[in-house]
Amino acid sequence: MNRYKFISISILLLVVINKICFSQITFTINAGTSIPVGDFAIDDPWNDKSGLAGTGMVAGIQCVYPLNEKGLGFLSSVDFILNPTSNDARKKWEDFNTEADFKFPRAINIPVSAGINYIFTPDEKISLYGKAALSASFLKFTDFMVQQYGYEDYTEEYDFSAALGFILGAGIKANKISIGFNYMILGEHKTGGIWKEGPNTGKLEQEIRNISLITLTAGWNF
């Protein structure tokens, strides 16, 4: 995606979030589990499409502005999602080179989202909701490092990337507590960077990473 086009969409989403959140309507702070799916969950280090991601954590904030009295609302949210390298992927690297020490990367995703929320309230104490949102997603992998006696340290440093995606979610609210399920397709990210080995350095070949997640969260509404 054109960088300027992406920045424009991201700014628009942030403006929407600002207008909604400062309306002081409904806020939810949540945290929970982040489960990679699809290519993001493939644990083969020699597959270019592999995300190598394991189960991680998510924390975020959401605010909803009601559009009518029938339960329809406009929502915005920001999430911080951290997924470590999966145990299976770690083992494959360690079995491949038993004499090396590895520092494995972690995937950091920050989706900024805006969309539609619908709340159904069968009684005064319990509400059910569903949502759909457009997301501007920002991705960064932390460094990958290999250390082995008698060899120069090898390091891969990854570039920041960004892509458009979407989020579908549903959940239940009871008084101040909410439980949520989200399916996040956070877009097709083009990841590159540089490698370093002693005094030598070079560019990493750019790879396409499709980032998809399921999150299960508990939240506090106020």
pLDDT tens per residue across span 93-106: 999 999 999 999 99
Report the alpha-carbon distance of residue 178 to residue 191 in Å, rounded.
35
Report the alpha-carbon distance of residue 176 to residue 151 in Å, rounded.
56
Percentage, residues of the chain above pLDDT 70: 89
- Tokens coding 213: 């997640």
The pLDDT score that the predictor gives to residue 3 is 60
Q: Domains plus CATH for the chain? A: 3-221 (2.40.160.20)
The pLDDT score that the predictor gives to residue 185 is 98
- Could you write out the DSSP letters of every residue in 55-122? -EEEEEEEEEEE-STTSEEEEEEEEEEEEEBPHHHHHHHHHH-TT-EEE--EEEEEEEEEEEEEEE-S
- Could you write out the DSSP letters of every residue in 109-161? EEEEEEEEEEEE-SSSSEEEEEEEEEEEEEEEEPPEEEE-TTS--EEEEEPPE
Please, which pLDDT band fits residue 155 given cuts at 50, 70 and 90?
very high
The pLDDT score that the predictor gives to residue 4 is 60
The whole model's pTM is what? 0.88
- Of 12-26, 34-48, 78-92, least confident by mean pLDDT is 12-26
